[in-house]
Amino acid sequence: MSRSSVSAVLWVTPNKMLDSSLRFFCYDCVTVFFLALFIALRGRMSGEPPIGCLLLALISALLWPVARELVLHGSCLAVFAANGLLAAALLGAVLGALAPMLNVTVAHYLERLQVYSEILGLSLACCFGLLCALPRLPASGALLLSLLLTVLPSTFADVALGDVARLVTASARIWRALLGAIASCALLVFLPQSMFAPLPADLLALALGLALPLLLQRLWPR
């Protein structure tokens, strides 16, 4: 499958999407939801107030699509024109900020929820960033760009929360997300598109990029 066969155009206009772009838009919404969820949970579990965590999670999660669109398309207006994307980020931020206020049974699972929402958010960001970058960059450049974009929201949140060392201490999850993106890249670049029919190649690549980090977390939890 050639890199040019992967669609990178997410929005044609604010109100009109290509069929493949609708699928990509759904990927985008799910990604910012999990990014906002884990950042809000992280802030709350650090003892920060709910409103502050909500705002931090919303801003941090939206940094990812804004930076991606600026780098790849030179404009981020499409991000702010997509109400569904903003709603997904807000929903994740609200759930993460309010979750510790629920009953004890739910609070008992908050740490696990934070871990898996972080894995899902980072893996989706890395793989989807790769899908967007492949038509414009060689595979190595697309992987590097997707990695840089992936660490941007969590690093911004870490600095805001005063924990600048977390990029090092939690690096295992970032590297697992990168391994998932590498597997997705290999699937897209080296295997013929006919092997994926009738499912879209980008959907299978994203599923592989999620499954590998989740499996590694299950086998070697850190």
Which pLDDT does position 34 carry in this prediction?
96
3-state helix, strand, coil in the chain (%, to 5): 80, 0, 20
Positions in the chain short of pLDDT 50: 1-18
Domain tally for the chain? Answer: 1
Provide CB contacts within 8 A for 160, sequence distance 6+: 56, 60
Residue 102: enclosing H or E segment and its boundaries? none
- Cα(44)–Cα(47) distance, rounded to whole angstroms? 5
- Cα(48)–Cα(52) distance, rounded to whole angstroms? 7
Which pLDDT does position 6 carry in this prediction?
34
pTM over 0.95: no
Which pLDDT does position 3 carry in this prediction?
36
Which pLDDT does position 195 carry in this prediction?
74
User: Which residues span the domain enclosing 82?
Assistant: 3-219
